[in-house]
Amino acid sequence: MELSGDPAPRVRDWATFGLGSQIVEDPDEDTRVEALRGLAARGDERAIPPLLVELDGPKGFQDPDDAVDEALLAFAARGDTRFCRYVEARRRSWEVARPDVSMPDLLQRAVDACRRHGGGSSERIVARGA
C-alpha cells in the first residue's frame, strides 16, 4: 500500500498492480469489482475466474455501466470468447434500450472481436441457448 504513493511511476504501477490482484478476493463488492476492472484493463487473466463468478452470480449482468461491465468488455475486446455470450446479451440490451444511439466504443469493439473470433454472431449464440 505504501509503495502506491511512491514518487517513481514504475514503482507505483507495480504496487497498484499487486494491490489490485490481492483485492479481487475482497469481501466488499465495490472494492472487488473495481479491482476486477483494473486488472481487466491491463489484460491480467487472474481477473477472469472471479469475473465469471460475478457475471454468473446472483446479481449477474444488471448494470451496463458498472465496473463488471467494463471488465467484461475489456476482455472480450481482446478476443476472449469466454465472454461473448455476455457481450451479445449486452449488445441486445443496448439495441432495445437505445435503438437510435450508437453503442459505446468499448462495447462495439467487444462485439466486433467476438464476431471475428467466432463467438459473437447472434445466430451462433442463440443456437447455444444463451
Is the distance from CB of 39 to CB of 47 less than 8 angstroms?
A: yes
Provide the pLDDT confidence category of residue 127 given band limits of 50, 70 and 90: very low
**CA 130 – CA 68 distance, rounded (Å):** 19
Domain boundaries, the chain: 2-127
Percent of the chain predicted with pLDDT > 90: 14
pLDDT at res. 100 = 92
Digit-coded pLDDT (tens) for 90-111: 899 889 999 899 988 889 999 9
Q: Is 94 left (phi over 0), alpha (psi -120 to 50) or beta?
A: alpha
Q: What's the predicted TM-score (pTM) here?
A: 0.68
3-state helix, strand, coil in the chain (%, to 5): 70, 0, 30
* Cα–Cα distance measured from residue 14 to residue 124, given in angstroms and rounded to the nearest whole number: 40
Question: Tens of pLDDT along 44-92?
Answer: 888 898 888 888 877 655 555 578 888 888 899 888 889 999 999 989 9
